[in-house]
């Protein structure tokens, strides 16, 4: 039980630090994100520095931890093994990109922005949750339809 509390405390601290980082970087302001995504009028390239910083931190952490047999606070590393691109991944990425472009939020900044009680953040999170619910309910039927054997041609 004690280890679980420690993991929870580290998870909470990591989440708070991530949220503060998003706010400081301007990722919780939709106009900042939309300014980055708009190459035609008033492009704001400053979020490239945020991405560069994130890539640098991840590269350093990966280098320091890649030789370990297990994480500091977990049972095992969860590294993806699939390398293929399937329709589910591509459609999901497209929906994510459209939502990000229309709303100016992606999930992390959207949830972080909830503390401001901004109607746009609340609307985004609500529609994100509805989309997740709809996907979970429709995915089995879609999978069955995609993998249904086709009738033999005559």
153 located within any domain: no
Q: Which residue has the higher pLDDT, 1 or 119?
A: 119
Look at residue 153 and give its three-state secondary structure: coil
102 located within any domain: yes
pTM over 0.75: no
Summarised one tens digit per residue, pLDDT across range 9-60 is: 888 998 899 889 888 888 888 888 888 888 888 888 988 998 899 999 999 9
151 located within any domain: no
Q: What is the DSSP string of 28-46?
A: T-HHHHHHHH-SSSS--TT
Q: How many domains does the chain have?
A: 1
23 located within any domain: yes
99 located within any domain: yes
154 located within any domain: no
Distance between CA atoms of 63 and 54, rounded to whole angstroms? 14
Domain region containing 31 = 2-146
pLDDT confidence tier of residue 154, bands split at 50, 70 and 90: very low
Summarised one tens digit per residue, pLDDT across range 47-106 is: 899 889 999 999 998 898 888 888 877 778 888 888 888 888 888 889 888 888 888 888
SS3 of 93-147: HHHHHHHHHHHCCCHHHHHHHHHHCCHHHHHHHHHHHHHHHHHHHHHHHHHHHHC
72: region left, alpha or beta (phi > 0 left; psi from -120 to 50 alpha): alpha
49 located within any domain: yes
DSSP-derived secondary structure letter, 62:
H
In Å, what is the CA distance from 140 to each residue of 78, 83, 105, 132?
Answer: 25, 23, 28, 13
80 located within any domain: yes
């Amino acid at each position: 039980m004690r280890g679980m509390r420690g993991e929870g405390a580290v998870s909470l601290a990591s989440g708070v630090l991530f949220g503060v980082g998003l706010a400081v970087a301007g990722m919780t302001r939709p106009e900042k994100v939309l300014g980055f995504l708009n190459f035609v009028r008033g492009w704001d390239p400053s979020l490239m520095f945020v991405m560069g910083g994130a890539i640098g931190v991840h590269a350093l952490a990966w280098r320091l931890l890649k030789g370990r047999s297990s994480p500091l606070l977990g049972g095992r590393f969860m590294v993806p093994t699939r390398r293929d691109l399937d329709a589910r991944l591509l459609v999901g990425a497209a929906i994510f990109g459209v939502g990000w472009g229309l709303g100016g939020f992606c999930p992390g900044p959207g949830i972080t922005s909830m503390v401001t009680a901004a109607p746009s953040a609340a609307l985004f999170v609500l529609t994100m949750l509805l989309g997740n619910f709809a996907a979970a309910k429709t995915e089995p039927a879609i999978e069955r339809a995609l993998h249904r054997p086709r009738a033999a041609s005559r």
